[in-house]
Amino acid sequence: MIKTDEQKDRALDFIRQIIAEDLKSGKHQRPVTRFPPEPNGFLHIGHAKSICLNFGIKVENNGVCNLRFDDTNPSKEETTYVESIKKDVAWLGYDWGKRPFYASDYFPQLFDFAVALITKGKAYVCQLSPEEIRAYRGTLTEPGKESPFRNQSVETNLNLFKKMRDGVFGEGSHVLRAKIDMTSPNLNMRDPVIYRILKSMHHRTGDTWKIYPMYDYTHCLSDMLENITHSLCTLEFEDHRPLYDWILDTLDTPCHPRQIEFARLNLTYTVMSKRKIMQLVEGNYVEDWNDPRMVTLSGLRRRGYTPSSIRSFINTIGVGKRDSWIDMTVLENSIRDDLNGTAARRMCVLDPVKVILDNFPAEQVDEIEAKNHPQNPEMGNRLIPFTRELYIERADFMDNPPRKFHRLGPGREVRLRYGYLIQYVSHTTDERTGRVVEIHCTYDPETRGGSAPDGRKVKGTIHWVSAEKSSPVTVRLYDRLFTVENPEADKETHFVEHLNPDSKITLNNAIAEPSLIELLPGDSVQFERQGYFCVDPEESEEGIPVFNRTVTLRDSWAKKR
């Protein structure tokens, strides 16, 4: 669950200020909010902002927050998505009470409310085609035109609407429209469609219903039926608020929630549209919704992001009234800050080259003591095997190093992390490729722990693993999915053209110290000098971990800008 200290010292944003004033004035005894996802895909980091806002207000005020599925379009919705959404909300640390709610819970009542609107002369069945309805709607500068079916009798409309419900008509042939004002400057008020015919199997109600309510109609009435006090939604729904209020006012409902809009989350180097995320999945540009390169919550979870890091990120960016862009670095820093204090340190060589210590006994195995966390002694120490043959990173050796290269090379001495000082002797290369094959060195047995008794200074420290006592592992280096900050900015170029070809690099011959093999799926560690990694919870097996890079130690993109 949420740690209470996450709520301390939080400056009240404008929504929380409104709620605080409503509680102080006695307008409400406690806030009742809701998170209303449509189960037609997996949640992403943008949804996390709404989740943390709605459920956070509940936590902070001892209120209520309903998880309500907007399941009004059976042609696109699946039980799989329902379960994934529940998993994501629970993973973030939030509790929706005894049960989740569904818009489909209210289908009978929503139908009755529609009948009431027809009876009041405030709704009518229209037989214009979808194309004709759009044409009649008008533009931002021209008023709409009334449907020829707008003024038919209440009895006719009731009869037609019931035939729609009974499946008499085909899809697209009839709709129920609210009767408001075709000259309104707000296009949402120009007789919007509130019911359409869909003969698809619903994941909860089966084929009981042949008609389904539209979102704008369903949402306000679902809020009302659940006694929501504050209906929080993103800015694109600001122009829909008059319709929200009109439906509740026209029906004279006993509860009238207040809709409040806030800025959605725009994050660089990714796309936040569920439709575009679906294109990535269905086009096989990514593995699935939970691909670690995605900013879906399931993808971030698989990559190694923690619930606390996501909540910290949401707290950092805050809640405002104006759209803005958040740099991906802010999200990456949230997980760096979180894992820096909690992730144990380990050594893993990603691109190995062999080092042979000529003066180290061939059969000898030293047990080198290493700290699990340099700033947290409570995490204890571990023993790492040290042998004659080791692996180091290929990038930590140069045969003709520049003056400021403080790692291994001819004439150079370096410190092996937790181990000994070693001195270069010679190296061999592959005749065909010219790549270094082996590096021969000597070690100074008096320097165990990395300090020289004679006080000589060594600038470079590199990590290593035993060649004999360590294991090969698969490591995936994940990076940002797109190469540009806003993949959708160029309207002449399809956003997939900006996909980063290096967003996933798989290393099958990385070498890990023995303790890494014992980690469990989902465990996170820091590979010293490399970054933070987690054991892939989907594809790892016992004793055969697959490591996903969560984030580098520093912002590697800063150099590219």
Superfamily holding 270-340+472-561:
Ribosomal Protein L25; Chain P (2.40.240.10)
What is the pLDDT at residue 73?
96
Q: Cα(289)–Cα(41) distance, rounded to whole angstroms?
A: 8
Nearest residue to 71 (alpha-carbon basis) of 172, 175, 208: 208
Would 270-340+472-561 and 348-463 be classified into the same CATH topology? yes
- Using DSSP, state whether 147 is helix, strand or coil: coil
Q: Cα(466)–Cα(445) distance, rounded to whole angstroms?
A: 17
At 277, the amino acid letter reads I
Q: Record the tokens describing residue 91, joined without a space.
A: 């993973």
Residue with tokens 């958040």: 326
**Residue 18: Cβ-neighbour burial (10 angstroms; 0-12, 13-18, 19+):** middle
CATH class, domain 121-215, is alpha beta
The helix or strand, by DSSP H or E, that contains position 251, with its residue range, turns out to be helix 241-251
Residue with tokens 């499946």: 167
CA-based radius of gyration for the chain: 31
DSSP summary character for residue 170: P
DSSP states of 319-383: --SS--EE-HHHHHHHHHHHHHHHPEEE-EESSEEEEEETTS-TT--EEEEEES-TT-GGG-EEE
Q: Is 338 in contact with 309 (CB distance < 8 Å)? A: yes
What is the pLDDT at residue 4?
47
Q: Is 216 in contact with 190 (CB distance < 8 Å)? A: no
Nearest residue to 500 (alpha-carbon basis) of 515, 485, 519: 485
Nearest residue to 84 (alpha-carbon basis) of 250, 273, 360, 289: 289
At 227, the amino acid letter reads N
Residues 6+ apart with CB under 8 A from 509: 352, 472
The length of the chain, given as a count of residues: 561
Q: Is 217 in contact with 246 (CB distance < 8 Å)? A: no
Identify the bridge partners of residue 462 per DSSP, sorted by sequence position. Answer: 416
What parts of the chain have a pLDDT lower than 50?
4, 8-9
The domain limits of the chain are 121-215, 270-340+472-561, 348-463
The helix or strand, by DSSP H or E, that contains position 134, with its residue range, turns out to be helix 130-137
The three state secondary structure string of 90-128 is HHCCCCCCCCCEEHHHHHHHHHHHHHHHHHCCCEEEECC
Nearest residue to 372 (alpha-carbon basis) of 360, 364, 380, 361: 380
Query: Buried (b) or exposed (e) across 529-547, using 16+ Cβ within 10 A?
Result: bbbbbbbbbeebeeeebbb
| Fold classification of 348-463 (topology level) | Ribosomal Protein L25; Chain P (2.40.240)
Identify the bridge partners of residue 436 per DSSP, sorted by sequence position. Answer: 429
- Residues marked active site are found at 38, 264, 274
Nearest residue to 357 (alpha-carbon basis) of 443, 451, 269: 443
Residue with tokens 């936040």: 272
